A and B are shown apart, each in its own frame.
Chain A
Amino acid sequence: MEIDPFIFRLSIFILSIFVGYYVVWSVTPSLHTPLMSVTNAISSVIIVGAIIAALSGNDGETFSISSIYGFLAIILAAVNIFGGFLVTQRMLAMYKKKKKDK
């Protein structure tokens, strides 16, 4: 009997939860704020779905009801992607070590 592809996706999902669990526990507490902003940025990979939705219109029809939702989702996700990664970058640039020359 063949295995439903859903089971494979479920396996990826469950294993990723465990990967996430161990990776996040190893994040140093002082970087918890950047952790939140970067997880926010990467969860905007939902833009993948938004792009598919936006380009779903049939020939000659760029704006159908379903593609309009896609375009709106693209704007929202893009704000998050750029905003999230850049603000993380900005924060991480501030973390400096004590100068050794003392």
Chain B
Amino acid sequence: MSANISAILYLISGVLFILALRGLSSPETSRQGNLFGIVGMIIAVTVTFLTVGNFTSGFIYVLIFLAIGGTIGAFIAYRIPMTAMPELVAGFHSLVGLAAVFVAISAFINPEAFNLGKPGNIKLASLIEMAIGAAVGAITFSGSVIAFLKLQGIMSGAPITFKGQHFLNALILLSIIILTFYLCKNQSSELFWLLIAVSFLIGFLIIIPIGGADMPVVISMLNSYSGWAAAGIGFTLENTALIITGALVGSSGAILSYIMCKGMNRSFFNVILGGFGATDQSGNKQTKEQRPVKSGNADDAAFLMKNASSVIIVPGYGMAVAQAQHALREMVDTLKKNDIKVSYAIHPVAGRMPGHMNVLLAEANVPYDEVFELEEINNDFANADVAFVIGANDVTNPVAKTDPQSPIYGMPVLDVEKCKSVLFVKRSLSPGYAGIDNDLFYKENTLMLFADAKKMTEDITKNL
């Protein structure tokens, strides 16, 4: 196939990828968007086969390996529970990163196949692009693996910090730049391997100090990195589809990180440098825990809700852990039969990844037009009778509005306390991720329901 025709076809597949993202602007057009993405991918792969034009035994192996990977991917996609979506996405990011590293290695060993010059004499620009692709890919890989382990609970979600951490990281980042410079000068393969090894290390070091609830930012950031890695390889291969896609994914991840940081009122660097709320919180804890708390059982909760005319549900990560979304939906169905208006309020950083709660509610057949974002619903709390907080904590803490000393001061929170009464499902009074007490527990109108979220929801449904 002529180079011009294939370039145009790659361009078309890039445009289809743009349309795939465009489709996500509303749930109605989203399925069609996904289809565009699939068509774009098929075009890109087919064009590559035709351009290489090598239909020997290697081609058969390509198809075999494609089928193996595809089967594994399809199997995972159908089996994965929706609550495990953050882990899945983190895992997938690591694969993109590693694939980028492998392609870069292959191009370095055999540059002739990519028209980049001869081994030991690769074009300077290609070498820089290759180095960037490999380094960013390696960071994406090791960072995503750590994020995956933390989300899966194999590794503790607590931040791991040590003295001189930032200094060490800065040193390693500097060494990556120096290595790239010398790699371009003498094209030594040792330096190339060293560059990749150091990049693996820095990816690992960047993610370990970041705690569990900051995962939405981390996942979005790694999403962005995987895009930049793809773009780097795209420049090496002079491939428009890869360049366009890399830029799209890179900016998409960056925007999501920004939205997540804004949801926590924290700067990006603050999150990345890690160690949130671990330091200045020991002082005034004892005095606070003495305060009285009203606690109730499923019967009380059912009574309150039965007499309400509108209920707002505030889900959080705890709902995902307890797998309570289906039980919750059943409860809401019962409420609706009693002509009670029910809506859902979702904080931007609820859960472990952007949009996590929305997917879970969608899985439990909650119509998406009953689910509202923070800005859309925050004024409604004052007119609602009951707020049902299930598995959320820090995002409801009124301290963020009242106490400038608090580490979460200024973070946008749901105005749950303005409701006539608040039902707070939680296992214990322990503070949330930010390590601070939730003032909401001690309010006059709050009734604490100490139990597992799923069990409590089921009990309430029985009592309604």
Interface residues in chain A, defined as those with a beta carbon under 8 Å from any beta carbon in chain B: 5-6, 9, 12-14, 16-21, 23-57, 59, 62, 64-67, 69-99
Contacts and interface: CB of A to CB of B under 8 A. Distances in A.
A57 to B, nearest CB: 6
Interface in B92-142: 92-93, 95-96, 98-100, 102-103, 105-107, 109-110, 112-114, 125
Given A42-B40, A89-B31, A71 B95 contact: no
Given A92-B27, A96-B362, A81 B41 contact: yes
Contacts of B99: 44, 46-47, 50, 73, 76-77, 80
Contacts of B445: none
Contacts of A75: 65, 68-69, 72
B243 A55 contact: no
B58 A62 contact: yes
Interface in B1-47: 10, 13-14, 17-18, 20-22, 24-27, 30-31, 33-34, 37-38, 40-41, 44-45
Given A40-B93, A79-B72, A20 B65 contact: no
B61 interface: yes
Interface in B341-388: 346, 348, 353-356, 358-359, 362-363, 365, 367-371, 373
Nearest to B86: A33
Contact of A47 (B45, B78, B114): B45
26 contacts: A12-B244, A20-B18, A28-B27, A31-B24, A35-B355, A36-B253, A39-B223, A43-B230, A43-B246, A44-B99, A45-B41, A46-B230, A47-B99, A48-B44, A48-B242, A49-B237, A65-B109, A66-B105, A69-B106, A74-B66, A78-B73, A79-B70, A79-B92, A82-B74, A84-B77, A91-B359
Interface in B210-249: 219-220, 223, 226-227, 229-231, 233-249
Contacts of A85: 34, 37-38, 41
Given A32-B355, A70-B102, A72-B102, A86 B73 contact: yes
A77 B358 contact: no
B41 to A, nearest CB: 6
Leading 9 A-B pairs by shortest Cβ distance: A78-B69, A56-B113, A32-B355, A83-B73, A82-B73, A16-B247, A66-B110, A32-B354, A20-B251
A51 B89 contact: no
B203 interface: no
Nearest to B103: A49
Query: Among the interface residues A9, A37, A84, which one has the most CB atoms of the partner chain B within 10 A?
Result: A84
A93 to B, nearest CB: 7
Contact of B353 (A5, A6, A36): A36
Given A29-B355, A33-B355, A94-B359, A20 B21 contact: yes
A79 B406 CA distance: 44
From DSSP, what is the main secondary structure of chain B's interface residues? helix
A79 B376 CA distance: 38
Nearest to A25: B255
Contacts of A36: 89, 219-220, 223, 253, 256, 353-355
Contacts of A37: 85, 88-89, 92
B248 A23 contact: yes
Given A9-B243, A69-B105, A73-B99, A90 B77 contact: yes
A59 B417 CA distance: 73
Contact of A45 (B18, B76, B245): B245
Interface stretch (B49-57, B168-176, B434-442): B49-57
Contact of B77 (A9, A27, A70, A82): A82
B103 to A, nearest CB: 4
A98 B370 contact: yes
Nearest to A61: B58
Contacts of B412: none
From DSSP, what is the main secondary structure of chain A's interface residues? helix
Contacts of B197: none
B308 interface: no
A76 B17 contact: no
Contacts of B373: 29-30
A70 B45 CA distance: 14
Nearest to A53: B106
A92 B98 CA distance: 27
B143 interface: no
Query: Among the interface residues A5, A55, A64, A93, which one has the most CB atoms of the partner chain B within 10 A?
Result: A55
Given A32-B354, A71-B62, A83-B77, A48 B45 contact: yes
Contacts of A57: 58
Given A9-B243, A55-B113, 4 more contacts: A42-B41, A46-B100, A48-B241, A80-B95
Contacts of A74: 62, 65-66, 69
A35 B252 contact: yes
A66 B113 contact: yes
Given A38-B20, A51-B62, A86 B77 contact: yes
Given A28-B25, A50-B103, A56-B106, A41 B244 contact: no
